[in-house]
Amino acid sequence: MKTKSIIFAIATAAAATHALAGPAQEAAQAHFTAIGSADRAAILRDYADNARLTWVGGPLDGSYDGTAVIGAVWDKFNAAAGPARVTILGASESANPKGATVVAAVQFDGKTQVKVRYVLTYRDGKLVNETWQVDPKLAAGAY
């Protein structure tokens, strides 16, 4: 009986997390989907003009500022990875009146598998800072 209670509590907490997803988490999920579908226009729509992408690990390691430069990075990624199935292993959102941050564990399965720990910061509904941390050992619930 105790095991059933624990399983129910975990399932309820997981459902509540999904049901309580705020606007930033929904925007992040759409962003991940756009990346997986290699939809450059949809990816770039998410960013503020002065956005920064910090890529940690892998061949695209570096910091990139502005939508034009960030677009070129996604072009390189899409050429190498191709369209990919996106699996969100876990995500959480923190928000206050000044902005919101989403932390997520995401797996992209395309020409190759890429596991990523994500931190996305939104202000006024636009993505202003994105950290893409390549993490080959990333597992579900690791966010």
pLDDT of residue 10: 31
Position 3 pLDDT exceeds 70: no
Pairwise pLDDT comparison (71 vs 9), residue with the higher score: 71
pTM value? 0.82
Strand order in the sheet with 113-123: 62-65, 47-56, 126-134, 113-123, 99-109, 85-96
Asked if pLDDT for residue 12 goes beyond 80, the answer is: no
